[in-house]
Amino acid sequence: MTTISYTCDNWIPVKGEMKDKISTLLREITERYRNPDQVRLWMKKIPPIEADGVIMERWADESLGSGFTGICLLMGQLDYLYPKNGWDIVGHQYLERIRMVVEQKGVHDLSLYSGLAGIMLAIYSLSRKGTRYQGMLDALASWFEEAALQSLALHRIEWEKGELRMSQYDTISGFAGVGRIAMLFLNRPGMQMVWEQTMDLFHVMCGEKNLNGHTVPAWHISSEHQFQEDEKLQYPQGNFNLGISHGIAGPLCFLSLSALHGVDASPLMNDIHRLGKFIHHWRVQDVEGIIWPGRISFGEWLDGQLLSGSTRNYRDSWCYGVPGIARSIWLAGQAVHNEEWLETGLSAYLDIEKRLHRKGGLSSATLCHGIGGLLHLVQRMYSDTSHEQLGRIRDRLLEDVLDMFDANSLFGFYDHSLLDGRLAEVDEAGFLNGSAGVALVLASLIGDQNPDWDAAFLIR
């Protein structure tokens, strides 16, 4: 296997008056994050989320999505922008809280958003391009490598039996996210092994299996392995998940980025073709442009067409909308030199302009399912393509995000969440659904340097 270094270096920052406006707003937001213990105390007072009768806390110290770990990404960006303002010291305080959790409780999760992979990304973000925290990174990397290689072997046995779960392969919990973090440390032989074996594992997922007498793609997820009870009822014969957070767009991004790092093995290229062809096929040409359903039911797959309501209540979110899925097909087009996929990915982004009058169906400024996430993915595509229309879309989305700032919020921006059956404004501190993620997008927009943190989104 041959490898070369691939980096997406182009970045088109915001300039002029808008840059000054962002800088002013960032000062107000980020001062709220100076004391990690105060942030934690505030978050512990926020009501938990209840779904399917399960209570889920909004804060977990070691979580990239909603804890100290994700806030470290913001501290790293602030340290780059304002190296004399002490944000590296604040970031160190956040890392100390994470270290105490690791020492006291251990980390029993490899994942990007709840486990060891996310912690390694946090430390990397604060390391000033690898010049700091090498001892901590080396210790955790050895732990990570051993655990990942064991897990990869176990998953392979299960997958070869047709026992595939979304949480094993996806971006949030699975090896798409874990494998992407391994790619940040390929100077280590152990990380190289994790990376290579993750590609081998996904080769199993990109195969086929027998289901009720039908030969189906192996990434079919059975009803019993859906995350939520309502999904189990909605998809009694299972489905094919397309989203970048929990669906096959995540593995497609990982495999495409692996190819763009120089891997030219034919199994990898075949797997990219297989996933890319599937995603490309299920695009919909709507009156508002190219969109994708988040999931394809088994019945729809058998019939070869979607039911009429499959794209109802569409949102331009990172997790299940056009920004994530179109980015995956665009990266796949780059990896295998498929001009049609490149055109589809770019056209889907340009079509987002047709939905800006309703903010792409989004109501909050946050990253996972808010305008902040859409803004950043448009910014990434704009920087990669220099397409002027994407620049205009970016600027309009930026104005929308800035208008959502609320000084009365604990952290500057509200997430919108269902509480007692109604959509409520909720204070969230973290990266994925909170103000830290919004501030990180804004801070990245005024920096001249291409940011590394969005490896967590699998879009680069």
**What stretch of H or E contains 436?**
helix 435-445
Residue 123: CB atoms within 10 A of its CB come to: 23
What DSSP string runs through 192-257? Answer: HHHHHHHHHHHHHHTSEEEETTEEEETT-B-GGG-SSHHHHHH-TT-EEE--TTTSTHHHHHHHHH
Q: Distance between CA 407 and CA 427 in Å, rounded?
A: 12
- Rounded to whole angstroms, the Cα distance separating 235 from 300 reads 11
Helix, strand, coil shares, percent, the chain, to 5: 55, 10, 35
Structure token pair of residue 406: 């609320």
Q: Is 72 annotated for ligand binding?
A: no
Residues in the chain: 460
253 is in an annotated binding site: no
Name residue 73's amino acid. Answer: L
Mapping DSSP to helix (H, G, I), strand (E, B) and coil, where does residue 37 land? helix
CB burial string 167-204: b at 16+ within 10 A, e below: ebbbbbbbbbbbbbbbbbbeebebbbebbbbbbebbbb
Judge whether 368 is annotated as a binding position: yes
d(CA 345, CA 92) in angstroms, rounded, equals: 39
From residue 356, give the alpha-carbon distance in Å to each of 305, 327, 353, 386, 398: 28, 18, 5, 20, 12
What's the burial of 108, exposed, middle or buried (CB within 10 Å: 0-12/13-18/19+)?
A: exposed
Pair 271, 203: CB distance under 8 Å? yes
Q: What is the DSSP string of 333-365?
A: HHHHT-HHHHHHHHHHHHGGGGGGGGGGG--SS
Distance separating alpha carbons of residues 22 and 16, to the nearest angstrom: 10
Q: Which helix (H) or strand (E) holds 417?
A: strand 414-419
Annotated binding site: 319, 368-369
Annotated binding site for Zn(2+): 319, 368-369
